[in-house]
């Protein structure tokens, strides 16, 4: 997991250093609060569209997960990272990750 964390930090730094793309706010940290999941997903979509055009699916997943911090979401993230490391994850794209997030943390009455 230390290697994944370092890879995430490196990717974040590379994205920050790119000066040829428009400035876009980074997503807020997501801690699993139900009322925050839609805003978090939307912020990630916006940033990804503006700044992650040439980035692969695995890197996008790592980037999104780097903003999942604290609360019940931390344990959920650790489980997803374990599945990815073991090769048992069903998540292969950023959109699939968002779908899992909506299922786990989304509003009950959506």
Cα–Cα dist 47/52, whole Å:
7
Cα–Cα dist 2/53, whole Å:
26
Give the global pTM: 0.77
Cα–Cα dist 7/98, whole Å:
21
Q: What is the pLDDT of residue 16?
A: 65
Burial zone of 29 (CB within 10 Å; 0-12 exposed, 13-18 middle, 19+ buried): middle
Q: What is the mean pLDDT of residues 50-73?
A: 94
pLDDT tens digits, one per residue of 39-55: 999 999 999 999 998 89
As given in the structure block, the two tokens for residue 30 are 């997501």
* Residue 81 clears pLDDT 60, i.e. is over it: yes
């Amino acid at each position: 997991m230390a290697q994944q964390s370092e890879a995430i930090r490196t990717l974040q730094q590379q994205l920050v250093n790119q000066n040829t793309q428009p400035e876009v706010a980074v997503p807020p940290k997501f801690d699993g609060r139900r009322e925050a999941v839609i805003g978090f997903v939307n912020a990630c979509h916006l940033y990804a569209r503006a700044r992650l055009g040439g980035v692969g699916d695995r890197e996008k997943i790592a980037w999104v997960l780097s903003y999942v911090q604290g609360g019940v979401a931390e344990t959920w993230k650790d489980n997803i990272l374990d599945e990815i490391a073991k090769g048992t994850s069903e998540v292969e794209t950023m959109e699939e990750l968002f779908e899992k997030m909506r299922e786990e943390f989304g509003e009950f009455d959506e």
